[in-house]
Homo-oligomer: A and B are copies of this chain.
Amino acid sequence: MNSTESVWKQLTDHVRETAILKSTQALLEWDQQTMLPQRGVDWRAQQITWMAGQIHQRETDPRLGDWLHELADADLAADPHSESGACIRELQYRFNKKAKLPLELVEQQATAHSIGQQIWAEARKDNDFAAFAPHLEKIFALKREEAAACGVTEDPYDALLDDYETGALTEPVDEVLTRLKEALVPLIAQATDGSVPVDDAILHRSYPRQAQEAFIREVTAAIGFDYQRGRLDVAAHPFCMESGPHDCRMTTRYNESLFSPAFFGSLHEAGHGIYEQGLRTEQYGFPAGTWCSLGIHESQSRLWENLVGRSQGFWQHFLPRARHWFPESLADVSVDQFHRAVNRIQPSLIRVEADEATYNLHIIIRFELERALINNQLAVQDLPEAWNQKYREYLGITPPDERNGVLQDIHWSAGLVGYFPTYSLGNIYSSQMFARAAGDLGDLEEDFARGDFGPLLEWLRTAVHAAGNCYRSGELMQKLTGSTIDERPLIDHLRQKVDRICAAA
């Protein structure tokens, strides 16, 4: 073995072993959310902390920096989109970013986020933003320090967004989200002006838990989730994670008098799961076998949840199966009725309960506010009023209290600043991809109406899943659609849906 080969082997062995630790960490966390006995929490925290320490040590191991330095000019690194080139590029990028952060700052942040989440939970319960405000100030101050340590001085938000969407810059994201907002506000006003009321009372009938679960397993398997390589369980806060290349676990929660949360939540998580299951297993733990970005991950969940799962064709196929599982509640319901009900647009207070269209305004509000906070253009004490102001302006509603307003999300308390826009990036990407896939494959709704999800799945497997993180999100979208990010397919999709729903009245 020459020196390059030997260094490459050491690097890949190191990464492979780190993947074993990370997947074990993931299992500890999954188990905590789904299985852990009530009083097991304290010990579990010790297990997770130990594992996190090991992973951190391995990811900041100076030998990693040495190996990457030695490989920088090797042939292996020449093509940044090859397995080896992407591996070297992405590891180097993250190693450099981490290496810039002083240990003291990392530790201060860990403490601030841990305390922040506890205080936030209390404050939300007590409807008391003032109690949380000093901690939020501290968290944002440390985030500013983090951006400065990364050497980002122009717009500190760039450094934060980049943690979740590598290489994305704030300015173009801001432009896209602003155009999206300007299209959505009038569109939503039109859809909800009362001229064409949409009735979703049928979704509020009786939906027994066992039947919901059986129907969800049937549908998620039909669209491509492989239960030999995954599970579905119950958790208070639905999520999807993987603990190995053939071990992908999603969760949901059931409401027996409301159809939508478990069903569409599971389609959403199954979309994440189908992505994970479509990654190249032999590259597990390496960029070539890892998801691309949070935005791309979200595009996969939103695509199956909204573009497939709320389409007319989908329900042409699946409503008869839904009637099989819920004969009493759905005997008298037509495909048109059901399709309209699951596509009702209605401004509401809570992000995680929002419909396909208004959801993006919830995100844009948070993006604008967190950006103003990080840039010192908004003081934390003025945040609740700014929040309510934007809800009035964009959605026409006013939160009655802080619990249902500025205190509803855990993200900021956990130091997740720059994370929110990836939700809307996901929605945008999903429409770009869907339009491109339809261009390649023809009328997808006809496939869905026949229960055939294979062509779309195969397209995603090849175009998105197999690429892993050999491309960054902007590069991947450019390669697939000729445009890094483009809000127009999403706006077109929502406009067509509003027209269709209104016309069907």
With an 8 A cutoff between CB atoms, is A228 at the interface? yes
A43 and B246 contact, CB distance less than 8 A: yes
A227 CB–B CB distance under 8 Å? yes
Complex: A44 Cα to B24 Cα, angstroms: 9
Instruction: Establish whether residues A231 and B35, one from each chain, have CB atoms under 8 Å apart when the complex forms.
Output: yes
Q: From A31, which residue of chain B is reached at the shortest CB distance?
A: B27
Contacting residues of chain A (241-277) with chain B, CB-CB under 8 angstroms: 243-249
Task: From B40, B46, B227, B231, give the contact of A20 (CB < 8 A).
Answer: B46
Residue in B37, B227, B243, B249 whose CB lies within 8 Å of A231: B37
Residues on B with C-beta less than 8 A from A229 are 37-40
- Judged by a CB distance under 8 angstroms, whether A51 is at the interface is yes
**Residues A243 and B40 in contact, CB atoms below 8 Å apart:** yes
Q: Are A23 and B39 in contact (CB under 8 A)?
A: no
Residues in B with CB closer than 8 Å to A24 are 24, 28, 47, 50-51
Find residues 24-79 in chain A having any chain B CB closer than 8 Å to their own CB: 24, 27-28, 31, 35-40, 42-44, 46-47, 50-51
Q: Residue on B with the closest CB to A229? A: B39
Q: Are A246 and B42 in contact (CB under 8 A)?
A: yes
- A2-37 interface with B by 8 A CB criterion: 17, 20-21, 23-24, 27-28, 31, 35-37
Please, which residue of chain B has its CB at the minimum distance from the CB of A42?
A: B246
Whether the Cβ atoms of B23 and A47 lie closer than 8 Å is yes
Which residues from B are CB-within-8-Å of A43?
23, 243-247, 284
Chain B residues within an 8 Å CB radius of A37: 227-231, 246-249
Asked whether, in the complex, the Cβ of A38 is within 8 Å of the Cβ of B228, the reply is yes
CB distance from A21 to the nearest CB of B (A): 7
- Identify the closest chain B residue to A50 (Cβ): B20
How many angstroms between the C-alpha atoms of A23 and B46 in the bound complex?
Answer: 10
Question: How does the 8 Å CB contact mask read for A178-222 relative to B, with 1 for contact and 0 for none?
Answer: 000000000000000000000000000000000000000000000
B228 in contact with A39 (CB, 8 Å): yes
Expressed in whole angstroms, the minimum distance between the Cβ of A94 and any Cβ of chain B is 22
B-contacting residues, A282-330, CB 8 Å? 284
Chain B residues with Cβ under 8 A from A46's Cβ?
A: 20
Q: Are B47 and A244 in contact (CB under 8 A)?
A: yes
Residues from chain B with Cβ under 8 Å of A284 in the complex: 43
Q: A246-B37, A247-B40 are in contact. Are A31 and B31 (CB under 8 A)?
A: yes
User: Looking at A17, A23, A248, which has the most chain B CB atoms within 10 Å of its CB?
Assistant: A23
A31 / chain B contacts, CB cutoff of 8 Å = 27, 31
**In the bound complex, CA of A461 to CA of B115 (Å):** 37
Closest to A38 in B: B228
Given pairs A24-B50, A27-B27, 13 additional interface contacts (CB within 8 A): A20-B47, A21-B50, A23-B47, A24-B24, A27-B47, A35-B35, A36-B247, A37-B227, A37-B247, A42-B246, A43-B244, A43-B247, A47-B244
Point out residues on A near B: beta carbons under 8 Å.
17, 20-21, 23-24, 27-28, 31, 35-40, 42-44, 46-47, 50-51, 227-231, 243-249, 284
